[in-house]
Each structure stands twice: as C-alpha cells, then as structure tokens.
Structure 1
Amino acid sequence: MTYLFMLIGLLLATVIVAALGDRFGLPWPALLTVVVAPALFIPGVPDWQIPADLMLPIFLPPLLWSLARRTSWGMIKAQSSVIWSMSIVLVFLTIAALTGTALIMLPGIGIAAAIVLAAALAPPDPVAVDAVAGPAGIPRRITGTLQTEGLFNDAASIVTFHAALSALLAGSHVDIGRGFVEFVYSSVAAVLLGLIVGRVSAWFIDHVADHAARNALTWVIPFAVYILAEEIHASGVIAIVIAAVEMHSRATVTSEDRLSGHSFWETVEMLFTGVAFGLIGLSFRSAIETVGSELWHAVLVGVVLSAVAFAVRFAWMWVIYRLNVAKGKISSAPLRMQEVLLMAWSGMRGLVTLALVLSIPAGAFDFHHELTVIALTVLVCTMVIPGLLLPWLVGVLDLDSGPDAAGDRAVALLNVRAREAAQNAVIAKARELPPEQLEAVQHWMDQQLIQEEIDPQGYQERREKLEKMRAKSQMARIDALKAAEAEMLKARAEPGINPAYVDEVLADIDRMLIAAGGPGPRGAGEDISEMVHERKMQYLASRKNRELEPGTVDEDRTQH
C-alpha cells in the first residue's frame, strides 16, 4: 500500500508541477525532478525503486510510441542525414570520448568497463529532450531534428552497452567487429519486425469499427513490439519507431480517431514522463548512501564527463552547421551559430542513462558503487540545469529571427493547400446545389421556414424537400472537408514537410468534420442525407401530432 500511495503521489505531483511549469514557462519534467528529490530526505519516506531490468520495458515503449506517432516516412527520409550523423556517428564519437575520459578519471577501471559507462551516458534521451525542449518554445524546425535524433540514437548506445557488458562479465576483450555485426543485425531485424507489426496493426484498425478498441490497440502494440524485439535480440527502440510510423502511414483513421488518440497519448505521455522523472529524483538518497565517502569524487567524475559530452556534441553540431550552410539547406538544423549552441545544450540525458547504469550487476568492477552518483550527476548537468535554463537561453539567442522559426509560413502554405482541395470538391458538387451555394441555400431555407408558419398548406412536402436540400448542403461541406483532409494526409507523407505542421492543420479540419456530422475517410457518411432526413421526419411527425391537439396550432401561431 505504501508503494501504491507513492505512485499516486507521483502522478498527482506530475499534474501539479506540469500546471506550474506551464504557468511560469519552465520545463516541468526538470522541475519535477528538483521537487521530488528532497522528499526522500524526509524521515519515514521509503526508498522506492523499480527493478532496473523493468525500467526500460515499462517506460520506454509508450513514450517512444507517443513520439514516433508524430513523425512520418517523409520526415524520416528528409532527416536521413540526421539519423546517420547524429543518431549513429555522434553517439559513437561520444562513447569514444567518454571512454577515454573515464580511463583517466577512474584509474584501473579497464577498457570494457569504461565503454559500459560511456555507452550508458552517451545518448540524449528522446523523452527528456521532447518533454523539456517542447515547452521551452524551441522552433519546430529544430525540435523536429532533435526528435528524429532521439528516436534512433538509443539503438547504437544500447547495443554497444550490452556488447561491452558481456565482454566485461566474461573477462574478455571487447570485440569491435562482433559488436558491429550485432549492431547491423539488431537494426535490420528491428526494422523488419516493425514493418510487419505496423502493417498487421493497420489492417486491424481498418477492420475494427470501435474507437476504444483501436486506441487500446495502440496502447498494447508498443509493449508487445519491445518484448518481441528483445526476444530476438533486435533493437526494441527501432522496432517501436518503425511500427508506429508504418501503422500511422497505412491505417485509415477517422477524425474522431485522431482527436481522441491525440488526447489519449498526451495524457499517457504526461503521466509516464512524470513517474519516470520522479523516479530519477527518488534515486538520489540510495545513490548517496551507496557511494559513501567517495561521493565528491563521483560527483567530480560526473561533472567532467558531462562537460566532455557537451564539448563533443557542440563540435559535431558546428560541423553539421557548416555542411548545412554549404549545401544551402533551409529546412534542416542547425543553420546558425545560435542553433549550434541550442542543440548542443539540448543533449539531455534521462531515463535510458539511469536504467542502463542501474542494470550493471553489483561488483562488476571496482567503481560500481560510484556509478549511480555519476549517472545522476550527469543527469543534473545535462538535463535538470539545462532544462530549467532553456527558456532563458531560447530568449537570449533570438531564435525567432531564424528561417520560419515559428512555422507560420509552413502552416499558411498547408492551409492554402487544404483550402484549394476543399474548393475543388465544392466545384465538383456545384451542379447538385443551388447557384448561390451553401450560404444562399441556408438563407433560402430560413425563408421557407417562415413561409411554413404563414401557410401550412403543403407543409410536409415542402419540409421533405427542405431537408433533402439541407442534407445535400451538409454533404457538400463534408465532401469539401474530406478533400482538405485527404490533401493534408498526402502532404504528411511528403519529404521536407514537418508532420507537426500538418497535424496542426489536420486538427482544425477534424474538429470541423465532427461539427459538420461527417466521419473521417472510412466511408461511414454515405447515408448522412438519409439519416438527417429520417431524424427530421421524426420531428415533423411529433409536430403534426401536437397540431392535432385542440388549441395547439393557434397557440404556436400566436407565439410566432
């Protein structure tokens, strides 16, 4: 019961701190870690930790899925250079630099153990980056690059970590060739698994009508994919990302699916992120108690490793910046020195780093008792402090003056495409409507309603014609909105278009579709005219019955 109480407390703290972070413009995950950490020093608060081997399987699948569902194949294709340069090359460069630093700072640690520590500390956590960078107001062009990097960089670090840990426990040397083969197999197997699961899931969604069942499926898939990938020694991270992108690119979903799914996953992401970052804060006391007299040495090592990781990332961001400028890219990042500093600052470590460090068996090497403090120091230096200072840094760097920083131009162009598609749909249906089109039809119907009260002769015949015309008008609006929706779904898959911009326009279209009574592209709206007519006829029948009652007609006419 104590642990259940602590879980509910963390969830409540998440909601409160998220509201405070939004109120004061601070990234709430970093703020939550600061708020929760001192609570462990209160007498009577138990030391609560989830087993290390369950940390990633519990938290990583839903959080990764929530991030991956926002991207597209077009975005991945456009950001392919980011995946190679930042998710793979930068991770290995960081591992190499941190390994050398660990060998200097921790004499006698050994190469295999140094690589284990470096691999755990190397990758920026996609959950931390998205949760902290998003509320800080970073331009979407930069956020999109950081998100793409974060979706794939864990694969390289986790494979390196397990290869080095196996060599360490076996007392052998790290076989780089074997590690490379394992990395290739892990990546290829994960891609194939993700594609299969994504297509099967899309088929299921296309053949199930219940909205709750479709949303529930998206909740189950990430865990299932992760477990399957781990069973075949593939990358669970890559498998989840590929499955999410494949399913959302193939499944035919309605407006209601998108809106409800967005709300559902925003809630899941907030609560899971809150518990994960709360657990990071709750780890401080046990780490301090374990390290004992070596506390300040471990803190020093963590600070130095954080500085090295930042320096390597800054240098690599500068190289990418020079390449982007030389190639004339306008949709990538970084494109200015301000963006180089911001993207280096945003290399935040988080849940993955802590989970990997905690999974190292006790006694694996001499400095094991310092590992948790080192990892937590790195988290403070790369996530908590940068996260809290990020809104200030964004303002100082004047990022709004960059190319389409807020995405206004991109959203405006997408709105133009959606409006043109809607207009074309209306023109195609024009011969089925009065010349005045929708507004004039509505005015004409209002006039008919007034005439109906004055002259009740032919009441039902005129009402039937009226309702059929109203249904045609409504169907024209729905057809126009569905054309705009189809155009946006097409745009979402195009390289060079940020899916976040498309989703913003789609959300408005979805709300209008639901307000108009129209479904998404499933085709359930074919009988909308008949449905509207039937409901109106039921209303007319009830009115007619009332008019047959003594005094009712005169009373109604007097009111009008």
Structure 2
Amino acid sequence: MLHDFPFYLGIIAIILLIIMLAEKIKVAYPVLLVLAGLAISFIPGIPTLHIEAELIFIIFLPPLLYEASWSISWKELWKWRRIITSFAFLVVFFTAFSVALVANYFIPGFSLALGFLLGGIVSPPDAVSAGAILKFVKVPRRFSSILEGESLLNDASSLIIFRFALIAVATGQFVWHEAAASFVWMVVGGAGIGVAIGWLIMKIHKYLPTNANIDIILTLITPYVMYIAAEEVHSSGVLAVVSGGLLLSNKRLWFLSSTVRLKSVNVWESLCFLLNGLVFMLIGLDLPEITAGLGTVSVSTAIGYGLLITLVLVVARMLSTYAAVVITLIARNYITVADTRSPGFKAPVLLGWAGMRGVVSLAAALSIPVQLADGTDFPQRNLILFITFVVILTTLLVQGLTLPWLISKIDMPDPDFVKPEEEVYNAIRVHLARHGLKSLKENYGSKLENETVLQQIALKWESACDMDENENMAFSEENKAIYLDVLNKQREWLLNKNNSTEIDEEIIRRHLLYLDLEEERLTLL
C-alpha cells in the first residue's frame, strides 16, 4: 500500500486537473473522469486496482448521501413527494423487472433470479452525474428537485431488490411472505433508526459543551453511525442516512451556530468533491480487472449484452416517465396533486433521458460474493460486473454528453418561478430590511436614540427600504472588479501589518476573514 502511495497522490492530482478541464470546456466531470481512468488503466506498469465493495458502501456512500440530503430543499421534496417516491420505488422495480426478463431471454445461463440481481444493480440513476450536468444548463426547479429527491431514495430500493435477488440465487428459492416482511423492516427500520440517531445527534450538538471543531467532526461521523447501525440490524443503511440527514438539515438552525454552519459547508463541499472525483476515476481504473474475469465470454459479446441492457434501461425509464404523467393527469380528478397542469412532452423527455448510472451500481456489482456457501463459483459474476461497467460508461457518455444539448433544444420554461431570480432576491432583501428596521424601532427604541452602532444599522436598513422592489441592485461586473481590487489591496496592507510585533496575529486573521466573507458576498450580488 505504501509502495503505491505516490500513485494515489498522482491520481488525486489528475482528478483535480480533469475537473478543471471539465469546468473549462463545460462538460460534466464524471464523464471525463471515467474516460481518464480508463485511459490510465492501459498504461504499462500501472498498479492493478482492486476495489472492495465495502470501500464504496462504507467509506464513500454514507457521506455522499448525507451531503445530498442536507442540500435538497425539504419544501420541494414534500411538494413532489408522489412522483419522487414513484420514481424511487415503482420505476426502479419496473426497470429491474424489465432487465430480468430481457437478461433471462437473451443472455445464456441467466436465470430470472440472476436477471433480477442485475436489474437491482443497474436500475438506480446516479445523482452525482445528473447534478454535475445540470450545473451547466438552466432547467426548471421542479425538474432538478425531482431528480435530487429520486436519487436520495432509489439507491435504497435498488439495493433492497439486489439483496433479495442475491438470497434467491444463493438458496434457489424465494419466499414471498418472508421477503415482504423483510422489505417492510428494511424501509421502516432504516428510516426509524436514521431519525432516532439524528434526534440524538441534535441533543448532543445542542446541550453538550461543544465548539465549532467538535460540531463539524460530529457531522462527519454522523452518516457513518447511521449507516452502520442500520446495516447491523439488517435494515436499510441508505434510508437511515437519508432520513436522518433530512431531519438534521431541516432543524439545523436549532442546534448549529452560524459559525459551524459557515465552516461546515466548506468542509463538506471539499470532502464530497474529492470523494466524487475518486469514485468516477476508480470506475475507469477498474476495467482491466473486470475484463480479465470474463473467462469464456468474449469481450465483444459481453459489450453487446451491456448495450442491450442499457437500451432496456433507457426505454423502461422513458415509458415510466410518460406513464407517470398519464397517471397524474387521471389522479388529479380525485386527489390533490402538486400541479394540475399538463407537463406536455418536454418534461418526460428530459426526466427520462437523465438516467446516468454510477457509484451505487458499481458498488453493488462488486459486492457479489465470489463463491456460494457450498464453495462453488457464483454464477455469471464476472459477466454481471462487465455489463454493469458497460452500462455506467455508455449512459455517462451518451446521455451525459447529450443531455445539455437536449435541454437547450427543448428550452422548457419554468412554470414555478416566473420572476427573474435577481428580482426575487432583491424583493426579499427589501422586505427583510423592513422587518429588521421595524423590530429594532419597536423593541429597542430607547437604545436606538443613544447607540451609534444601532443608528448605523438602522440607516443601512432604511437605505435598503428605499429601494424599489423591482430595481436590480446587483453589482455591475466593472464595480465587482473595482471592489475586488480594493479588497486585495486591503489584504496586502494587513499582511504587511502582520509583520509588526505590536499587533496580535489573531486580530489580523479576524480582519482577513472579514475580507474573505466580503469577497464571497460578491458572488451573491
């Protein structure tokens, strides 16, 4: 391991360079990372990479799911709960069933149980890939909310299918009532354990004498505690992390200070940035080991099977999106739905095409045991691994590269937010200033007459209240450049002042932090 340490450091450096290149050429970085890993794997002398499934399930998956559950809007998640849950469970089940039938019919040696195993592996779309692509294009908020919400839950449903299929292959039987009871426990138990641990973590943050560093470290270990605790009692670790993360995210203002919230955002963004980069690079690097295990099946034949399964996934998701629209249009006559308007053909096309596969599919395939309990080789394990790799690579390249083009061609308007974002931002700013000024005058009127600092704050808010709510008060690019230059000159003065022994460095650092916050504020103006 130590011998290969420089290699892994080099991989991290390459990941950073590739992500910078992806930002430059406006391409989703998962696509370039997989291709780069694939190219590096063919270089002579490169260490053969063996990825343990536990590495992804235990090390990578909990923090990535936890960060996603903190990022998503609970309001949007609840608003679109019906279509999100249908995509996360019903569509995943339908996709796995479709894959099982096709694999059983077209791939020699594939039983229905093996087909369901493969279906459970490749059925969940990857949230990271879709999120990276949507950064470069503008889509309606409801579209991204549905994708984000689906991605939080579909991993759990697909892994449940995978676990049941694995038992069926190993034992040769499938007991429906036992499977149903196990499914209920995995869902209810996983969600319950996540909420319970989340509640306990809130109490620890709130009532124990922690500081910012301790609070941030607690946020780092929380998803691992949730995941491992749920898996130990054979419930869904994924649902535990998601449910606990949603609870803590929704209550963050209650138990985390503003300092912790500000610092933890940077920590978590950096951590998940690195984890995502490593995962997609590892997918490409693992190809030689996967290909070497094919045995008697030729590479061309295995590629053909992979492309066939990819086609099934695309068609099944497209059919599911249009079926969801039809069902919603019928259901609106009997129940209250989030939106009674018909979405037309545009939204289903985009939602159906955003089905890139990624980390969870790879981890599930790698977790298939090499041998059964009786010592015989697990049937079709290497072929399942190769098909999974082809599905991931094909969906990332084909759908990942064409989704931005498709979004730009369809040009779907946002029915939820008709006002420009900047106009809404400024309107809220005005109302917020009015509310603060009113509260200051009503509750601290006597103080306001004598305290200069409070008078300055009131003056600032009065100035904001005088703005027209529709007036665009955003900095021009020229003004931003001027202000940034002034901030840089102030930094230089502070750094020169720091050489003086008369001033405490901690004071200098506090002023440098203020300048950093001012520069960050520029990005929001």
Instruction: Check the 8 A contact 1:52/1:359 in 2, yes or no.
Output: yes
Deviations 1:464-515 (A, max 9, x none): xxxx6223235658999xxxxxxxxxxxxxxxxxxxxxxxxxxxxxxxxxxx
- The aligned counterpart of 2:361 is 353
Q: Is residue 306 of structure 1 aligned with residue 310 of structure 2?
A: yes
260 and 135 in structure 1: CA distance in 2 versus 1, 3 angstrom threshold = farther
Alignment of 1:16-165 (within 5 A): 16-165=17-166
AA partner of residue 307 (structure 1): L
Looking at structure 1, the residues matched to 147 and 419 of structure 2 have their Cα atoms a distance apart, in angstroms, of 20
Kept after mapping to 2: 8 A contact 1:295/1:370? no
Moved more, 304-313 or 251-260: 251-260
Cα 1:309–1:222 shift into 2, 3 Å: same
Q: Give the Cα separation in 1 of the matches to 2:425 and 2:233.
A: 42
Provide TM-score, normalisation by structure 1. Answer: 0.74
Partner of 1:426: 437
Distance in 1 between residues matched to 2:323 and 2:264, nearest whole Å:
39
Q: Distance in 1 between matches of 2:419 and 2:212?
A: 32
What does residue 199 of structure 1 align with? 199
Amino acid in the other structure paired with 1:179: A
Q: Secondary structure at the match of 2:362?
A: helix
Distance, in Å, in 2 between the alignment partners of 1:73 and 1:184 is 24
- Distance in 2, matches of 1:194 and 1:308, equals 34
Cα distance in 2 between the residues matched to 1:361 and 1:24: 41
Is the CA contact 2:85–2:153 (under 8 Å) kept in the aligned structure 1? Answer: no
Using the alignment, how far apart are the partners of 1:348 and 1:334 within structure 2? 26
Q: What amino acid is aligned across from residue 437 of structure 2 in structure 1?
A: V
Name the residue aligned to 1:275: 278
Residue pair 1:338, 1:397 contacting (<8 A) in 2 also: yes
Contact map agreement 2:121 2:365 (CA 8 A) in 1 = yes
Displacement of 1:317 in angstroms is 0.7
Task: Decide whether the 8 Å contact of 1:159 with 1:182 is kept in 2.
Answer: no
Counterpart for residue 285 of structure 1: 288
1:262 and 2:265 are equivalent in the alignment = yes
In structure 2, how many angstroms separate the alpha carbons of the residues matched to 1:329 and 1:9? 51
TM-score w.r.t. structure 2 length? 0.78
Q: Secondary structure at the match of 2:4?
A: helix
Alignment of 1:165-204 (within 5 A): 165-170=166-171, 172-204=172-204
CA distance, structure 2, for counterparts of residue 408 and residue 381 of structure 1: 38
Q: Deviations over 1:118-158 (max 9, x none)?
A: 11111112333333444444443211110100100111111
Which residue identity lines up with residue 193 of structure 2 in the other structure?
L
TM superposition shift of 1:289: 1.9
Structure 2 residue aligned with 1:455: none
SS at match of 2:124: coil
Query: Any residues of structure 2 matched to 1:295-444 within 5 Å, and which?
Result: 295-324=299-328, 327=332, 335-362=343-370, 364-399=377-412, 401-404=413-416, 409=420, 412-413=423-424, 416-417=427-428, 419-430=430-441
Write the distance in 2 (CA, Å) between the matches of 1:384 and 1:347.
Answer: 11
Tell me by how many angstroms 1:87 deviates: 0.5
Aligned in 2, Cα 1:306/1:477: closer, same or farther, shift over 3 Å? Answer: farther
SS of 1:168's equivalent?
A: helix
1:434: how far off? 8.9
Question: Post-superposition shift, 1:319?
Answer: 1.9
Deviation at 1:5, TM superposition (A): 2.3
Displacement of 1:246 in angstroms is 0.9
Q: Which amino acid aligns with 2:455?
A: S
Q: Deviations over 1:75-129 (max 9, x none)?
A: 3322220233101100110111000011012233222222111111111123333
Alpha carbons of structure 1 residues 56 and 344: separation in structure 2 relative to 1, 3 Å: same
Q: How far off is 1:290 after superposition?
A: 1.9
SS at match of 2:343: coil
Task: Give the % identical residues.
Answer: 26
Contact 1:334 1:343 in 2 (8 A): no
Q: Which moved more, 1:296-305 or 1:194-203?
A: 194-203
Query: Following the alignment from structure 2 to structure 1, what is the Cα–Cα distance between the partners of residues 362 and 197?
Result: 29
Is the 2:54–2:367 Cα contact (8 Å) retained in structure 1? yes
Q: 1:429 is paired with a residue of what secondary structure? A: helix
Partner Cα distance (1:432, 1:123) in 2: 54
**Which moves more between the two structures, 294-303 or 126-135?**
126-135
Residue of structure 2 in register with 1:242 after alignment: 243
Q: How many correspondences in the alignment?
A: 450
**2:30 corresponds to which letter in structure 1?**
P
CA pair 108-409 structure 1, distance change in 2 beyond 3 A: same
Match of 2:479? none
Matches of 1:185 and 1:352 in 2, distance apart? Answer: 21
Q: Distance in 1 between matches of 2:236 and 2:43?
A: 40
> CA separation in 2, counterparts of 1:137 and 1:410?
12
Question: Compared with structure 1, are the counterparts of its residues 115 and 275 closer, same or farther at alpha carbon in structure 2 (3 Å cutoff)?
Answer: same
Q: Is the 8 A contact 2:133 2:404 kept in 1?
A: no
Q: Supply the distance in 2 between the matched residues of 1:3 and 1:210 (Cα, whole angstroms).
A: 37
Aligned partner letter, 1:424? H
1:473 alignment counterpart: 455
The 3-state SS of whatever aligns with 2:46 is: coil
Instruction: Measure, in 1, the Cα distance between the counterparts of 2:452 and 2:54.
Output: 60
Counting only pairs closer than 5 Å after superposition, residues 395-544 of structure 1 correspond to structure 2 as 395-399=408-412, 401-404=413-416, 409=420, 412-413=423-424, 416-417=427-428, 419-430=430-441, 469-473=451-455
Conservation of the 8 A alpha-carbon contact between 2:30 and 2:396: no
Structure 2 residues not aligned, in runs of 5+: 372-376, 463-506, 508-525
8 A Cα contact 1:65 1:244, kept in partner: yes
Structure 1: 5+ residue stretches without partners: 442-467, 481-534, 536-560
Aligned CA distance change for structure 1 residues 53 and 427 (closer, same or farther; 3 Å):
closer
Mapped to 2, the partners of 1:433 and 1:373 lie a distance apart of: 69
